[in-house]
C-alpha cells in the first residue's frame, strides 16, 4: 500500500478505511452470533441458575476474544496482500 519512501495516495487510504470498516463489522457480527449461540438459551429459556450463569459468563468471555481475533486476522491478511517491491529502486528485474 505504501510506495517505497513515499506517501499513500487517496485510493490507498480509502482501501485501508474500507478494510478497517469491514474488519470491525465482520468481527461484531461474528461475536454477536457466537454470543447468541452460547448465551441465547440462557436468555430464552428457564434454565437452572448455575447453567444460566455459566452460559452467560462463557458467552461474555468468548465474544470479545472472537471480536479481537477476527479484527486482527482481517487486518493482517490485508497487510500481507500488498505488493512488496522485490528490489527497491529498480525498474525491472533485468536492470
**Mean per-residue pLDDT, 14-35:** 93
Pull the grid cell for residue 92: 525491472
Query: 51 pLDDT band (50/70/90 cuts)?
Result: very high
Query: 75 pLDDT exceeds 80?
Result: yes
- The Cα–Cα gap between 32 and 64 comes to 9
- For residue 47, the model assigns a pLDDT of 87
Query: 3 pLDDT band (50/70/90 cuts)?
Result: low
Q: What is the pTM of this model?
A: 0.71
- The Cα–Cα gap between 9 and 4 comes to 12
DSSP string, 21-83: HHHHHHHHHHHHHHHHHHHHHHHHS---HHHHHHHHHHHHHHHHHHHHHHHHHHHHHHHHTS-
Each residue's pLDDT tens digit, 6-16: 677 888 888 88
Amino acid at each position: 500500500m505504501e510506495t517505497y519512501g513515499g506517501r499513500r495516495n487517496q485510493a490507498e487510504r480509502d482501501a485501508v478505511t474500507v478494510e478497517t470498516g469491514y474488519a470491525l463489522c465482520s468481527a461484531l457480527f461474528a461475536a454477536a452470533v457466537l454470543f447468541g449461540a452460547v448465551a441465547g438459551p440462557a436468555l430464552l429459556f428457564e434454565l437452572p441458575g448455575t447453567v444460566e450463569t455459566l452460559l452467560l459468563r462463557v458467552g461474555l468471555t468468548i465474544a470479545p476474544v472472537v471480536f479481537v481475533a477476527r479484527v486482527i486476522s482481517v487486518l493482517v491478511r490485508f497487510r500481507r496482500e500488498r505488493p512488496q517491491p522485490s528490489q527497491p529502486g529498480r525498474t525491472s528485474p533485468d536492470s
